[in-house]
């Protein structure tokens, strides 16, 4: 199933009401209410890379309210990344492409078969392309996510060596290893994530 089908299936299941209250402990009060109350279904735009084109689609995210402490949470399906327009699967795919290749630069990652990955306009012409700095921002994002405590806690396998060509400072080296660890965790579980709704997503 490709990412477009995954998102379409998710959208259809929300529209048809085929979903249920999450079976988790509240991230705020650390208790388990009888159920979480559906607070809102929020429309959100997603970007996904199909070959060398960035496609845009819409889907929904569910927000749940804890009956015990009243905190709202946003439920992110496995393809969605909090605060990022690109789908998590592409963030991880490009991240892995960069981290697991000894010689590939950020500029090399944003090419598919030698062609830049572009944002098509209304005529399907690409004049804007994914910047190599986007891949660096993906690394920061993945490294940040590696700090999240997961339930249940899953140990990452040993992170493979990253080519020293990719860093000069210890700070950047540490960040890349964190990003790689997160990438491995994503590939292991691809789970749903829950985040307290403390700020509004950029949509």
Q: Which stretches of the chain bind Zn ion, using CB under 5 A?
A: 26, 28-29, 66, 68-69
CA of residue 21 relative to chain centroid, distance = 22
Q: What are phi and psi of 143, to 5 degrees?
A: -65, -40
Residue number with CB closer to Zn ion (8 or 71): 71
What the block records as the tokens of 92 is 């991880």
- Shortest CB 76 distance to Zn ion, Å: 18
- Shortest CB 14 distance to Zn ion, Å: 23
Residue number with CB closer to Zn ion (141 or 194): 194
Residue number with CB closer to Zn ion (160 or 196): 196
Residue number with CB closer to Zn ion (26 or 143): 26
Query: Would you say 105 and 97 are in contact if contact means Cβ atoms under 8 Å apart?
Result: no
CA of residue 118 relative to chain centroid, distance = 20
- Shortest CB 24 distance to Zn ion, Å: 10
- Shortest CB 73 distance to Zn ion, Å: 9
> For residues 89 and 49, what is the distance between their CA atoms, to the nearest angstrom?
10
- Shortest CB 23 distance to Zn ion, Å: 14
Residue number with CB closer to Zn ion (29 or 148): 29
Residue number with CB closer to Zn ion (12 or 31): 31
Q: Which of 4, 180, 191, 151 is nearest to 92 (CA)?
A: 180
What the block records as the tokens of 145 is 């996510």
What the block records as the tokens of 141 is 């994002």
- Shortest CB 135 distance to Zn ion, Å: 37
User: What does the DSSP assignment read for 85-143?
Assistant: SB-HHHHHHHHHHHHT-SS--HHHHTEETTEE-EEE-TTS-EEEE--HHHHHHHHHHHH
């Amino acid at each position: 199933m490709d990412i477009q089908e995954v998102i379409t299936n998710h959208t259809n299941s929300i529209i048809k009401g085929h979903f249920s209250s999450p079976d988790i402990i509240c991230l705020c009060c650390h208790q388990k209410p009888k159920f979480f109350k559906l607070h809102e279904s929020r429309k959100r735009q997603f970007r996904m890379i199909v070959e060398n084109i960035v496609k845009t689609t819409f889907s929904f995210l569910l927000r749940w309210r804890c009956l015990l402490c009243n905190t709202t949470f946003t439920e992110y399906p496995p393809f969605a990344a909090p605060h990022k327009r690109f789908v998590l699967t592409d963030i991880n795919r490009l991240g892995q492409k960069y981290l697991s290749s000894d010689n590939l630069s950020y500029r090399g990652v944003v090419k598919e078969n030698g062609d830049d990955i572009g944002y098509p306009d209304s005529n399907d012409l690409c004049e804007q392309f994914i910047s190599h700095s986007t891949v660096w921002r993906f690394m920061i994002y993945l490294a940040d996510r590696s700090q999240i405590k997961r339930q249940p806690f899953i140990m990452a396998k040993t992170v493979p060596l990253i080519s020293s060509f990719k860093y000069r400072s210890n700070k950047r080296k540490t960040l890349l290893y964190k990003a790689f660890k997160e990438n491995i965790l994503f590939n292991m579980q691809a789970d749903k994530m829950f985040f307290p709704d403390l700020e509004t997503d950029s949509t």
